[in-house]
């Protein structure tokens, strides 16, 4: 705890030590969360090629001469699933990729036995043939998205991630203060000399200065999805 002697001027050393402790303990808490969020976020970025690799019969087609119109593909899907409504059409971006439709059942939530159901339908854009369908919640991307947002433990996970994000902001602010206060230190160990703790500390400060602002903005953007 930060303690100021009664009647004495502000003690900068006590402030430095208090912020050092906050920086250290916040780092211990947030680093595992940042690693999990980084890995799951990266997985979401590469989810599309991964899904294509594991589900080639759904996602990949033989390239044809000319793809059918969106209206023709919609008609094909609606004829196969008349109880569903088309909510989203995702056209293929390459010649060997299937077109995708997000479908939602016409049932109304709140009525027993009539809960809405979602389907991701894969269609050959050249022939209109239906390749298959599955629940979007079972996709690789959806699983990673759930983990990224709640760690598979609902609101508790969301709250833990929010706490970690808040403490990450504290870690950045306290780290900047610590780095700035030591920037004029007489110890001028080269950042390229990593044979001592002083060299590692200077490298740590340098990396911190570089990533502080991008990480701060990154955390603020992520906090827009949290509960509180």
| Tens of pLDDT, residues 46-58 | 998 888 888 888 8
pLDDT at 197: 82
Query: For the ranges 8-12, 66-70, 167-171, 174-178, which has the lowest average pLDDT?
Result: 8-12
Name which of 165, 92, 156 is nearest 124 in CA terms: 92
pLDDT tens-digit readout, 165-184: 999 999 999 999 998 887 65
Q: Is 65 inside any structural domain?
A: yes
Assign 1 a pLDDT band (cuts: 50, 70, 90): very low
Whether the Cβ atoms of residue 115 and residue 99 lie closer than 8 Å to each other: no
User: Do 173 and 218 sit in the same domain of this protein?
Assistant: yes
Enter the DSSP assignment of 137: G
Q: Is 7 inside any structural domain?
A: no
Show which of 136, 153, 179 is a domain's final residue.
136
Q: Tokens representing 186?
A: 């007489």
Q: Tokens representing 63?
A: 């390239």
Q: Rg (Cα) of the chain, in Å, rounded?
A: 26
E-strand stretches of 163-216: none
Show which of 68, 102, 136 is a domain's final residue.
136
Q: Tokens representing 97?
A: 């990729």
Domain count, the chain: 2
Whether the Cβ atoms of residue 42 and residue 58 lie closer than 8 Å to each other: no
Full residue range of the structural domain in which residue 61 is found: 53-136
Whichever domain contains 109, its CATH number is 3.10.450
How many other C-beta atoms can be found within 10 angstroms of the C-beta atom of residue 101? 24
Whether the Cβ atoms of residue 104 and residue 84 lie closer than 8 Å to each other: yes
pLDDT higher for 98 or 1?
A: 98
Whether the Cβ atoms of residue 176 and residue 208 lie closer than 8 Å to each other: yes
User: Do 19 and 70 sit in the same domain of this protein?
Assistant: no
Q: What is the pTM of this model?
A: 0.74
Query: Scanning the structure block, which residue is given the tokens 């709250």?
Result: 159
Q: Is 35 inside any structural domain?
A: yes
Show which of 93, 114, 136 is a domain's final residue.
136
């Amino acid at each position: 705890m930060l303690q100021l002697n009664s009647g004495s001027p502000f003690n900068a050393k006590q402030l430095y030590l208090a912020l050092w402790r906050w920086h250290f303990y916040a780092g211990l808490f947030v680093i595992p969360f940042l690693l999990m969020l980084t890995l799951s976020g990266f997985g979401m970025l590469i989810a599309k090629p991964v899904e294509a690799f594991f589900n080639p019969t759904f996602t990949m087609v033989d390239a044809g001469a000319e793809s059918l119109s969106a209206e023709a593909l919609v008609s094909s899907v609606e004829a196969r699933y008349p109880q569903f409504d088309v909510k989203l059409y995702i056209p293929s971006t390459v010649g060997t990729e299937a077109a995708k439709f997000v479908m939602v059942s016409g049932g109304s939530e709140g009525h027993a036995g009539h809960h809405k159901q979602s389907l991701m339908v894969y269609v050959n854009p050249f022939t209109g043939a239906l390749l298959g369908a599955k629940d979007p919640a079972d996709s690789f991307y959806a699983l990673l998205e759930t983990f990224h947002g709640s760690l598979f433990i609902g609101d508790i996970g969301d709250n833990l991630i929010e706490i970690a994000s808040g403490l990450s902001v504290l870690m950045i602010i306290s780290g900047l203060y610590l780095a700035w206060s030591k920037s004029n230190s007489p110890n001028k160990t080269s950042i390229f000399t990593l044979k001592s703790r002083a060299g590692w500390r200077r490298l740590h400060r340098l990396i911190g200065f570089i990533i502080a602002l991008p990480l701060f903005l990154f955390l603020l953007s992520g906090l827009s999805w949290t509960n509180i």
